[in-house]
Structure 1
Amino acid sequence: MEPQYVSPRRSVAFIGSECHPFVKTGGLGDVMYALPRELVAQNCDVRVILPRYACIPQKYQDKMVYRGEFYMDLGKTGRNYYVGIMEYVCDGVVYDFIDNQEFFSAGNPYIGLVDDIPKYCYFSKAALAALNYLNWIPDIIHCHDWQAALVPVYLRTMFQDSPIGRAKTVLTIHNLRFQGIYNIPTLQYWTGLPDEVFNMGAMKQGYEDANMLKAGLAYADRITTVSNTYAQEIQTAEYGEKLEDHLRYHSYKLRGIVNGIDYGMWNPATDPALAVNYDITNVLDHKWENKLALQQELDLVQDQGKFVIGLISRLTNQKGLDLVNAIIPQVMDGNTQVVVLGTGDKEYEDTFRYYENAYKGMFSACIQYDESRAHRIYAGADALLVPSRFEPCGLTQLNAMHYGTLPIVRETGGLKDTVQPYNIFNGDGNGFTFDRYDAGLLLDAINRAKTEYFINRYHWDEVVQRDMAKDVSWENSARQYKDLYLELTPW
């Protein structure tokens, strides 16, 4: 048995706008699901507070238990709004859903800023009021992205003298691109926050705009984002989405902690989607069987000697697909197969379909979102391409390593933090990398990978096993969050 990580108990309230399996549009939903579960295992008491959207599947709605209701004033509306609390407990995590038909009855969680600004002004205030109502006062309130960014602001103003006022706050940035920006009068109307909140150091942006995320960053006790390198990058103009000066000013409280992957969902030894299961002890015997099965499934030439490159991605500019497009003709050398899975911009969808036609049996374009096929690509490919323009954390490269598939990545954000470049002189490293955003450098990295695969297979196989041994689990990441909580509450 490995030694248990024992540390003092802390109570944490997670507040955010989405969480798998109830509602999920992206990586935030995965974190809100996996991190609380892992923190429970590490001696934390965790509640997750979410909106009760109408789009949450009925099977979960049916299991929610009514915990109470109250009315709450909101901003300068002159009205009292209903706040209902519905509770669902699963795997030691308590989920409290804030119920209000007026705000959460649409089919999708996000509609557009006109509807979303009032909705998340209400949600952030109602979440704090609900904790007071339930008389469950956490040590730490951990908020996520712009939708919950007003929580630290409300806490340090309107709720400062209430029981919840003693909690410390952590705000995590998952996607800096979305900030909750609207004109100042609208945010004054919906929040009723005091005037000092609307100055340049906090909510104000430009001449007449208010920025919810900016205010949260100013009022939170700690700011985290999803990798160390990204925490540095967002303090520069290239990545800062106009908040770089503000982030530099608050950099003393900014940390990077890489996301993990859920070993329950991503485990080649037990994964039901795979043709043949394998682990680190027999990966060299069984991985090629998954390759042949993948080739058969996708109508590719069946040959375990081919070098198979996977690309699993949203097909957008952020993901570096313009670089990929530029070099496909040089990559297709007769010994290489490429498998693309994803949907997105029409220009990329069409280009990849064109390549599938031009290189029949060697190039496959799966323009779809198919979770189980993604698992089979991780298992059947030799390498995975992640040439992103920017990538706060990135999970595909972690999945790939865990499945013994070597990542070929650009050195940015979480990719730089999780993939160390292979060194031909001493054999160190766990993938292939390139730095500047340039098609020639991407091609060069792919060719370096091919050289090792075809000429030094012994070295390649060593890296495969090293990657499968690497700890990319949530346990590792949750430990760093727990240490941050303890640092904020040193009693």
Structure 2
Amino acid sequence: MRVLHVTAEVYPQVKTGGLGDIAAALPTALLAQGVDARLLVPGYPAIIDNLEEVGLVADLGSLMGAARVRVLHGRLKESGLTAYVVDAPWYFRREGNPYLGPDHRDWSDNIRRFALLGWVGAHLAWGDIDAWWQADILHAHDWHAGLAPVYLSLNPVRRVKSVFSIHNLIYQGLFPLEEAPGLDLPPHILRPGVSRSLEYYGHGSFMKGGLVFADWLSTVSPRYAYEITTPEGGAGMQGVLLERRERLSGILNGIDETVWDPQTDPLISANYGIHDLGRKVENKTRMQQELGLTVDPNRMLAVMISRLTNQKGADLVLQALPKMRELGIQLALLGSGDAHLQDAFRKAAEEAPDQVAVCIGYDERLAHRLIGAGDLILVPSRFEPCGLTQMYGLRYGTLPLVCKVGGLADTVTEYLDGQPSNGFVFQGGQISGLIDALERAAALWWHDRSGWEWRMRTAMEARHGWGPSAAEYLSLYQRLLGEWQ
């Protein structure tokens, strides 16, 4: 089976969030199950500079406003994945964030940039670009690749099935309809009131294109697959998703358990496992010392690695800081985001430097070290399609405290009747719920340390690797290909 993954990001070369991780990990896991999985990615500098065994597949000339478009083929360093690259210097040879310019605003030509990605994806899947390779399945990821299933549908004679994965429904790839003539799309799929149309409240939408034209839809957790069909979670697209709910699957993301493994992680101070949990405290005391926190192995250390936004619940943690200090819980935070939240956390750290440490920005090594050091990891998102941080916490025995939404609800459990639990859960996205959960965590920590360690072992025994998720995708692909018969 041949599968082409069309994506705007791939770890470690280009990553702004979980999409980049998934775009590398899922094809890798599929390869292990015998699938010929390949990527199509834009030719950003970080991609071009990290492509080995490079060959020219096709020179497409001028296309969608780009003076010259070529398709390259090679292997990405580190992952070793086979990748096709859309080499359009005018559109993609830009340093920094793949979507934002130096002014931190969307590039004005994002619509044409990612329409080009989708167009090449469809033609590559058909076999029009690489005469030696044709896909059985085109798997498009998030709005940036949303037009790939649309272009694919324009040639129904070609026997290629499409899957469109929704990683975050909030970002919908909206564009003015007057820009549509430059996208090589037939007028009828832009008309309002037509069942199979990109039109969305007077705009065009890449996301809607993927939702309407793909043969099957998937998203990144079972709970999120339900949430996006509701008015609360559907971001205005719930009507479209309700119509397609019979062809919508929620498949939980995995994590790379070779990278995230406390027994072998080279980035943490002391390696440990389920049978030598005592060594975990060495990571905590080292981190307390380095961050200027009171060094005390008996104090609970909560960590948070997150964008600092209200969606991620950062404002809730800020409000909860007085209660955390009262409960004897230290906080070490790594993240960046809204300026007022950054400033507020900095101020909190200045006021209580022995209890609160704040590192603005992101550092992969520090993220590993914090998760290895923490007793509790805070993931109080008001909305979270899947989430990976809580799974890293589970893997390291750093108990997640989460809001019961999306993939957080699918991976973290807290039973108050004595059944096995692996974390702490609250509902509603309100400060009262977070404080109640913190109080339960503190009570277990201070009064039942053996119960805490039992919960740690429950967390660490579970597996969240990509193997089972890849098997679900493979089953989905096989089901789609069976429809040709």
The one-letter amino acid paired with 1:98 is: V
Cα distance in 1, alignment partners of residues 176 and 361 from structure 2: 38
Structure-1 residue corresponding to 2:474: 482
Structure-2 residue corresponding to 1:238: 232
Cα distance in 2, alignment partners of residues 71 and 342 from structure 1: 41
8 Å contact 2:316–2:430 — kept in the other structure? yes
Cα distance in 2, alignment partners of residues 275 and 71 from structure 1: 51
Which of 37, 41, 50 is residue 41 of structure 2 equivalent to? 50
The alpha-carbon distance between structure 1 residues 139 and 84, as it changes in their structure 2 partners (threshold 3 A), is closer
8 Å contact 2:56–2:73 — kept in the other structure? yes
8 Å contact 1:179–1:213 — kept in the other structure? yes
The one-letter amino acid paired with 1:313 is: S
- Summarize the alignment of residues 251-400 of structure 1 with structure 2, pairs less than 5 Å apart: 251-283=245-277, 285-333=278-326, 335-400=328-393
The one-letter amino acid paired with 2:26 is: L
Residues 10-48 of structure 1 show CA distances to partners (whole Å, capped at 9, x for unaligned) of 221101111112222111111111111111001111111
Which of 135, 140, 151 is residue 138 of structure 1 equivalent to? 135
Q: Shift in Å at residue 334 of structure 1?
A: 6.3
The one-letter amino acid paired with 1:152 is: P
Structure-1 residue corresponding to 2:461: 469
8 Å contact 1:197–1:215 — kept in the other structure? no
Give secondary structure in 2 for the equivalent of 1:301: coil
The alignment's TM-score, normalised by the length of structure 1, stands at 0.91
Structure-2 residue corresponding to 1:160: 156
Give secondary structure in 2 for the equivalent of 1:154: helix
Structure-2 residue corresponding to 1:455: 447
Cα distance in 1, alignment partners of residues 76 and 319 from structure 2: 50
The alpha-carbon distance between structure 1 residues 278 and 207, as it changes in their structure 2 partners (threshold 3 A), is closer
Give secondary structure in 2 for the equivalent of 1:487: helix
- Summarize the alignment of residues 61-210 of structure 1 with structure 2, pairs less than 5 Å apart: 61=51, 63-71=52-60, 82-88=69-75, 93-108=81-96, 109-111=98-100, 112=106, 114-131=108-125, 132=127, 133-135=129-131, 136-157=133-154, 159-161=155-157, 165-196=158-189, 198-200=191-193, 201-206=195-200, 208-210=202-204
The one-letter amino acid paired with 2:156 is: Q
The alignment's TM-score, normalised by the length of structure 2, stands at 0.92
The one-letter amino acid paired with 1:151 is: A
- Summarize the alignment of residues 366-445 of structure 1 with structure 2, pairs less than 5 Å apart: 366-423=359-416, 425-445=417-437
Q: Shift in Å at residue 218 of structure 1?
A: 0.7
The alpha-carbon distance between structure 1 residues 276 and 89, as it changes in their structure 2 partners (threshold 3 A), is closer
Cα distance in 1, alignment partners of residues 67 and 345 from structure 2: 54
Give secondary structure in 2 for the equivalent of 1:460: helix
8 Å contact 1:120–1:148 — kept in the other structure? yes
The alpha-carbon distance between structure 1 residues 73 and 141, as it changes in their structure 2 partners (threshold 3 A), is same
8 Å contact 1:71–1:80 — kept in the other structure? no
Structure-1 residue corresponding to 2:222: 228
CA RMSD for the aligned pairs?
A: 2.0
Cα distance in 1, alignment partners of residues 33 and 80 from structure 2: 12
Residue segments in structure 2 that go unaligned for 5+ positions in a row: 101-105
Residue segments in structure 1 that go unaligned for 5+ positions in a row: 1-9
Residues 348-376 of structure 1 show CA distances to partners (whole Å, capped at 9, x for unaligned) of 11211222122231111112212111111
Q: Shift in Å at residue 130 of structure 1?
A: 3.2
Residues 170-220 of structure 1 show CA distances to partners (whole Å, capped at 9, x for unaligned) of 000112121111122311332233524544323343553111210211111
8 Å contact 1:13–1:47 — kept in the other structure? yes
Cα distance in 1, alignment partners of residues 258 and 48 from structure 2: 22
8 Å contact 1:274–1:379 — kept in the other structure? yes
8 Å contact 1:203–1:212 — kept in the other structure? no
Give secondary structure in 2 for the equivalent of 1:482: helix
Cα distance in 2, alignment partners of residues 173 and 47 from structure 1: 19
The one-letter amino acid paired with 1:224 is: S
Give secondary structure in 1 for the equivalent of 2:382: coil
The one-letter amino acid paired with 1:51 is: P
Give secondary structure in 1 for the equivalent of 2:259: coil
Q: Shift in Å at residue 113 of structure 1?
A: 5.5
Cα distance in 1, alignment partners of residues 391 and 88 from structure 2: 38
Could you tell which deviates more after superposition, 49-58 or 412-421? 49-58
Give secondary structure in 2 for the equivalent of 1:318: coil
Instruction: Say how many residue pairs are matched.
Output: 472
Residues 61-106 of structure 1 show CA distances to partners (whole Å, capped at 9, x for unaligned) of 4x2412332336757x7x9953332322666631111212232222
Cα distance in 1, alignment partners of residues 380 and 67 from structure 2: 50
Which of 4, 13, 30 is residue 39 of structure 1 equivalent to? 30
Residues 318-345 of structure 1 show CA distances to partners (whole Å, capped at 9, x for unaligned) of 1112211222112202632111111111
8 Å contact 2:327–2:439 — kept in the other structure? no
